[in-house]
Amino acid sequence: MSHPAIDRLLQGHAAFRDRWTQDDRDYLRQLASRGQSPDALFVGCSDSRVIPELLTQSAPGQLFVVRNVANQVPPFDHADSSVGAALEYAIGHLHVQHIVVCGHDLCGGVKAVAQGADVRELPSLHEWLAGVRVALAELPQAADAEVHLRAAVEANVAQQLDNLLTFRDVRAGIEAGTLHLHGWVYDLAGLSVRVFDPARDDFVPAGTLIKGGRPTGGGPLSRP
């Protein structure tokens, strides 16, 4: 039985393969034989508009990704084994040097909590959003709804950075200088990223922190 949406996915994969260069093929085969050695663990939202590899122009092998509703990292004493397993594997086995928690403006999960929506008819979602409720518990109400939602998204990212510190391996990596945490917010409408700057205790436009030149384009894989 044919499903147009699934046919589109398979046709998309075929089109993707058609654009590969020989270098792309060599790179993918090397990845297959050598195994992965990603630079970062990326914790993002499941939202279909926020695609980590696309937004960061990362090739296969560069990002180890966890995506869930509202980019949550439940704290260790309330560990979610999916997120916890990815975290342990990324640090302990893959030796990633960076963890990026990336939220996004207009996040449905954060918005539901910020606006006090009742989602108990979706019991798993209601339970999952407990982490967002903690993040927003002490957030002052802004007069402007849009400003409040932006602040809520940022507070949610900041909370997940705090939650990461409840994991022993994260604390050990930071103390050893081998692991670094980063908080980002992707602005869907503005097409830009805000980055948490600990020195200012605030999110600032990513452009102010970028070091070095911008990467140049290549084949569809944007290989390193």
Interface residues with Zn ion (CB under 5 A) are 45, 47, 107
- 107 vs 158 by CB, closer to Zn ion: 107
Give every strand in the sheet of 180-187, ordered side by side: 63-68, 40-45, 98-104, 180-187, 192-197, 202-205
Q: How far apart are the first and last CA of the chain?
A: 40
Q: How far is the CB of 86 from Zn ion (least distance, A)?
A: 18
Greatest Cα pair distance in the chain: 57
Q: How far is the CB of 149 from Zn ion (least distance, A)?
A: 11
In this complex, which beta carbon is closest to Zn ion, that of residue 45 or of residue 114?
45
Active-site positions read 45, 47, 49, 104, 107
Kindly state the DSSP code that residue 6 receives in the 8-state scheme. H
Between residues 47 and 154, which has the closer beta carbon with respect to Zn ion? 47
| Minimal distance, residue 124 CB to Zn ion, in Å | 16
Helix axes 168-176, 81-92, angle to 10 degrees: 30
Report how far residue 116's alpha carbon sits from residue 219's, in angstroms, rounded to the nearest whole number.
45
